[in-house]
Amino acid sequence: MENPAPTATKTVAKVDTVLIRQMKFNPQELHVDKGATVVFVNKDVVAHDVTSKDKKTYSDTIKVNHSWTWVANDSMSYKCSIHPTMLGKVLLNP
């Protein structure tokens, strides 16, 4: 049986990942299409969170080796409220 070669005609909703490591969001600035699923994965040794600048979005505490999934219907500037020097952005592609 043959599997047809994958065709890249349609964009499948893809998952973008922000890794949290060594007190940093990586990538710090993520560009996604509207509606993309963004998973924040805490690979650090302490708990973090994602708190939007406008405070409308809050991940709750993301424990070590846990993740939080967010659907990007808007751009978001965020920080970790536990470590307010940790900053990041998700920007929608035009």
Tell me which residues touch Cu ion (CB under 5 A): 48, 80, 82-83, 86
Between residues 76 and 80, which has the closer beta carbon with respect to Cu ion? 80
Q: Residue 94 Cβ, how far from Cu ion at the closest point, in Å?
A: 30
Distance CA 22, CA 37 (A): 23
| Strand order through the sheet with 67-72 | 24-26, 15-21, 36-42, 67-72
Q: Residue 36 Cβ, how far from Cu ion at the closest point, in Å?
A: 23
Backbone angles phi, psi at 28, to 5 degrees: -70, -30
Backbone angles phi, psi at 38, to 5 degrees: -115, 125
Q: Residue 25 Cβ, how far from Cu ion at the closest point, in Å?
A: 9
Between residues 36 and 49, which has the closer beta carbon with respect to Cu ion? 49
Between residues 36 and 40, which has the closer beta carbon with respect to Cu ion? 40
